[in-house]
């Protein structure tokens, strides 16, 4: 176990864990948008920045990717940290002025909606956190979406921003999106996501809608479970 101090609280953490994980496991809150415990951390949003002290030196690090070290002293609320956090939120609000989630976090640290940066009008609520891309690749395993273009023009979506041939309509990307940028609609027996329409399968017993047929076929193919066994809802099993 690694001994460290976070906000004047002596704690122990497993070797290889991050400052963010150590803080969360000890009831210390650090704001973040791009982190999910089931996905590889990327440190994209920088909201989880903290100040660390090693010997006589201090520096700002991203807590979701910085691993704990013996004797490390961490401050999650120093003025230096708060200045970084406020700047990050101003940039995020400029990129995604319609994001309610970002506005709520900004309000907690007294960042006003009137950011000094020019507002973007074409980014929606996407902060390029990579969570949707990673869940599609690491958890679902189909890699139906990714990044296109570069710099300020970078966007997330299927190749050429056309309906993906590999997307199975599972909605995992919409589920992990921290800002609600990804829109998924279930209309009757049809699901629409990323411009693609999916036929929803029904429970063979009660007729309740289950999941997209493409998703069940993919699960059957990858697990070896007969497709017929997947078309019964939990209530009817």
Confidence tier at 23 by pLDDT (50, 70, 90):
very high
- For residues 217 and 207, the model is more confident at 217
Structural domains present in the chain: 2-108 (3.10.20.740), 131-236 (no CATH)
CA distance 102 to 171: 22
How many Å separate Cα 132 from the centre of its chain? Answer: 7
For the cut 90, the answer to whether the pLDDT of residue 58 exceeds it is: yes
Q: So what's the pLDDT on residue 53?
A: 96
Interval 55-62 mean pLDDT: 94
Chain mean pLDDT for the chain: 94
Cβ atoms of residues 196 and 174 within 8 Å? no
Residue 131 sits at φ, ψ, to 5 deg, of: -65, -40
DSSP alpha helix (H) spans, 76-180: 79-95, 100-108, 131-134, 172-176
Whole-number pLDDT of residue 233: 82
Q: How confident is the model at residue 114 (pLDDT cuts 50, 70, 90)?
A: confident
pLDDT tier, 232 (very low <50, low <70, confident <90, very high otherwise): confident
Residue 196 half-sphere exposure toward CB, CA atoms < 13 A: 23
The confidence score (pLDDT) of residue 236 equals: 82
pTM for this model (two decimals): 0.87
- What was the pLDDT predicted at 235? 81
Q: For 129-145, how does the pLDDT look when each residue is reduced to its tens digit (9 = 90+)? A: 999 999 999 999 999 99
pLDDT over threshold 90, residue 152 = no
Instruction: Specify whether the CB–CB gap between 41 and 48 falls below 8 A.
Output: no
Question: What pLDDT does residue 234 have?
Answer: 81
With beta carbons less than 8 A apart as the criterion, state whether 201 and 216 touch: yes
pLDDT tier at 72, thresholds 50, 70, 90: very high
Lowest-pLDDT range, 37-41, 110-114, 120-124?
110-114
pLDDT at 8: 96
């Amino acid at each position: 176990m690694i001994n460290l101090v976070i906000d004047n609280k002596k704690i122990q953490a497993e070797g290889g864990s991050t400052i963010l994980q150590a803080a969360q496991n000890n009831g210390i809150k650090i704001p973040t948008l791009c982190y999910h415990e089931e996905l590889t951390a990327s440190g994209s949003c920088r909201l989880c920045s903290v100040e660390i002290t090693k010997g006589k030196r201090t520096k700002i690090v991203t807590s979701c990717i910085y691993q704990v070290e013996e004797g490390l002293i961490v401050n999650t609320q120093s003025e230096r940290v708060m200045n970084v956090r406020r700047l990050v939120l101003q940039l995020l609000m400029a990129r995604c002025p319609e994001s309610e989630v970002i506005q709520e976090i900004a309000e907690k640290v007294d960042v006003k909606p009137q950011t000094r940066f020019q507002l973007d009008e074409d980014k929606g609520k996407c902060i390029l956190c990579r969570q949707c891309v990673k869940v599609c690749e690491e958890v679902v395993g189909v890699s139906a979406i990714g990044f296109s273009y570069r710099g300020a023009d970078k966007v997330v979506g299927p190749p050429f921003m056309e309906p993906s041939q590999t997307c199975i309509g599972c909605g995992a990307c919409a589920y992990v999106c921290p800002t609600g940028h990804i829109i998924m609609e279930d209309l009757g027996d049809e699901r629409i996501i990323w411009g693609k329409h999916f036929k929803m399968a029904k429970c063979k017993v009660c007729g309740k809608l289950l999941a997209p047929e493409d998703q069940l076929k993919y699960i059957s193919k990858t697990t070896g479970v007969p497709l017929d066994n997947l078309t019964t809802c939990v209530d009817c099993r």
